[in-house]
């Protein structure tokens, strides 16, 4: 792969400079531009491919971290005590499913009879 990534573009660019020196004057610039452009294009395509592949690796790493969070309830780089000690502080009067269930249960329960 090293040859395709770096050697092939270098050979094409070098061929462009050879054309610049050796070719007849009528085709000198066209040969240089064609070979140099081809070499730089191959190099750029390889660079863009490498950038795309690293993005896939980053996504795979992030997905494995999310899977870890789903299993353990904390991120892999968090200390276990920090994740376990976390508690929500809700403003006064906010209804949660637990508080609504407790209110509903209190409303449907029969009133206590006074003791005699």
Under a CB-based contact definition with an 8 Å cutoff, are residues 8 and 38 in contact? no
Q: What is the full DSSP assignment across 90-115?
A: PPTT---HHHHHHHHHHHHSPPPPPP
What mean pLDDT is reported for the chain? 85
Label residue 58 by pLDDT band (50, 70, 90): confident
CA dist 13 and 71 (Å) reads 53
pTM as predicted: 0.52
| Tokens (6 digits) for 84 | 């376990």
| Tokens (6 digits) for 114 | 């006074």
pLDDT at 86 over 80: no
CA dist 20 and 32 (Å) reads 5
């Amino acid at each position: 792969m090293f040859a395709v990534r770096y050697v092939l573009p270098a050979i094409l660019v070098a061929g462009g400079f050879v054309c610049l020196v050796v070719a007849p004057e009528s085709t000198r610039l066209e040969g240089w531009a064609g070979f140099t452009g081809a070499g730089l294009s191959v190099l750029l395509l390889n660079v863009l491919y490498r950038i795309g592949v690293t993005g896939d690796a980053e996504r795979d790493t992030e997905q494995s971290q999310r899977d870890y969070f789903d299993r353990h309830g904390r991120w892999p780089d968090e200390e276990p005590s920090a994740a376990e000690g976390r508690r929500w502080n809700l403003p006064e009067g906010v209804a949660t499913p637990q508080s609504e269930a407790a209110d509903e249960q209190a409303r449907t329960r029969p009133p206590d009879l006074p003791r005699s």
